[in-house]
């Protein structure tokens, strides 16, 4: 091979980086338009259609603003986005003092996840809990070991999505594969409400 040919050769890693960059630019530029089109033609997440059961967060809130860390000490938001190896949806239970109403949501998230059947692995579960009772702490590994415990980064002050105040009321936040909090649920919603929403979203979603 001539020297010029060698200089012009593109390594597979450069090709992959180029494709990832193109995908990211596509998602940033066209993602909102595609999502809006789906909303328009299906009525899904259309505020006037009321086809969703959960409470919409408008506009969707970036997970990064909540400053949550996973059990590994790394930002939770890093797991989402166009370059994620295994993009997934996530239900995040957030609560200050985790009392009976909080544990009801922990249980509901677990049961909904199980009820997804073959799609259960497309949805993960996690929880940020300010404090838990000794009784719940003792039962956690037996009943909720698949639910990752989250923490707040350093001395950060999380910016919760509009309408969310974990210290006053526990909620289940639904995060899409791009790292956006798009809906939330509380004790006023049933497991069937959540399951219907998730099944519809997973049917429409080409990622996660």
Domain boundaries, the chain: 1-42, 54-204
HEC-encoded secondary structure of 50-113 = CCCCCEEEEEEEEHHHHCEECCCCCEHHHHCCCCCCCCCEEEEEEEEEECHHHHHHHHHHHHHH
Task: Report the pLDDT value the prediction gives residue 40, as an integer from 0 to 100.
Answer: 40
Higher pLDDT, 15 or 166: 166
Please tell me the CATH code under which domain 54-204 is placed: 3.40.30.10
**Lowest-pLDDT choice from 39-48, 59-68, 84-93, 187-196:** 39-48
Helices (runs of H) and strands (runs of E) counted in the chain: 5, 8
Q: How confident is the model at residue 66, as a pLDDT?
A: 95
CA separation for the pair 122, 80 (Å, rounded): 13
Asked whether residue 176 carries a pLDDT value surpassing 80, the answer given is yes
Q: Is the pTM of this model over 0.75?
A: yes
**38 vs 203, which has greater pLDDT?**
203
Give me the residues paired with residue 4 across strands.
none
Q: Give 119's DSSP letter.
A: G
DSSP run (H or E) holding 25: helix 12-42
Q: Which residues pair with 89 in a beta bridge?
A: 123
First to last CA, the chain: 43
């Amino acid at each position: 091979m001539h020297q010029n040919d060698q200089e012009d050769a593109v390594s597979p890693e450069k090709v992959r980086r180029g494709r990832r960059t193109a995908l990211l630019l596509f998602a940033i530029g066209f993602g909102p338009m595609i999502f809006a089109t789906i909303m328009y033609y299906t009525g899904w997440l259309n505020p006037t259609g009321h086809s969703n059961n959960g409470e919409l967060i408008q506009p969707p809130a970036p997970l990064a603003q909540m400053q949550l860390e996973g059990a590994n000490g790394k930002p939770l938001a890093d797991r989402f986005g166009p370059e994620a190896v295994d993009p997934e949806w996530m239900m995040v239970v957030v609560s200050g003092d985790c009392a009976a109403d909080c544990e009801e949501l922990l249980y509901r998230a677990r049961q909904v996840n199980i009820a997804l059947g073959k799609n259960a692995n497309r949805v993960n579960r996690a929880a940020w809990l300010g404090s838990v009772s000794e009784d719940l702490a003792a039962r956690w590994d037996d009943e909720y070991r698949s639910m990752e415990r989250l923490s707040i980064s350093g001395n950060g002050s999380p910016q919760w999505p509009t309408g969310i105040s974990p210290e006053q009321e526990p909620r289940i936040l639904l995060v899409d594969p791009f790292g956006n909090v798009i809906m939330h649920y509380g004790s006023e919603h049933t497991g069937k409400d959540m399951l219907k929403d998730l099944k519809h979203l997973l049917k429409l979603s080409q990622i996660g």
